[in-house]
Amino acid sequence: MAISDAYTQSFIQPRSALLMEMEQFAKENYVPIMQLPAIEILLQLLRIQNPKTILEIGSAICYSAIRMAETLPQAKIVTIERDDTRIEQAKQFLSRSTVKENIVLLEGDALEVDVESNYPSFDAVFIDAAKGQYKKFFEKYSPLVKKGGILYIDNMYMHGLSNLDIKEVPKRKRTMIRNLHQFAEWIIENPDYQSSFFPVGDGLLICIKR
Ligand X SMILES: C[S@@+](CC[C@H](N)C(=O)[O-])C[C@H]1O[C@@H](n2cnc3c(N)ncnc32)[C@H](O)[C@@H]1O
The contact set with ligand X (CB under 6 A) reads 32-34, 58, 60, 63-64, 80-83, 86, 109-111, 128-130, 133
For residue 151, the number of C-alpha atoms closer than 13 Å in the C-beta half-sphere is 28
For residue 76, the minimal CB distance to ligand X (Å) is 17
The three-state (H, E, C) secondary structure of 82-129, written as one string: CCHHHHHHHHHHHHCCCCHHHEEEEECCCCCCCCCCCCCCEEEEEECC
Q: How far is the CB of 39 from ligand X (least distance, A)?
A: 7
Residue number with CB closer to ligand X (22 or 207):
22
Q: How many CA atoms lie within 13 A of 176 on its CB side?
A: 16
Report, in Å, the least distance between residue 202 CB and ligand X: 9
> With respect to ligand X, which residue has the nearer C-beta, 70 or 83?
83
Residue among 88 and 101 whose Cβ is closer to ligand X: 88
Min dist. Cβ of residue 191 to ligand X (A): 27
**Contacts by residues 162-169 (CB-CB < 8 Å, ≥ 24 positions apart):** 162/203
Which CB sits closer to ligand X, 98 or 192?
98
Min dist. Cβ of residue 122 to ligand X (A): 16
Give the residue at shortest CB distance from ligand X: 58
The C-alpha angle 72, 90, 92, rounded to 5 degrees, equals 105
Cβ-proximal residues to 104 (8 Å cutoff; 6+ apart), any chain: 76, 77, 78, 79
Q: How far is the CB of 189 from ligand X (least distance, A)?
A: 25
Q: How far apart are CA 175 and CA 94, in angstroms?
A: 35
Residue placing its CB nearer to ligand X in the complex, 81 or 148: 81
CB closer to ligand X out of 82 and 184 = 82
Q: Which helix (H) or strand (E) holds 196?
A: strand 193-198
DSSP H or E segment with residue 55: strand 53-57
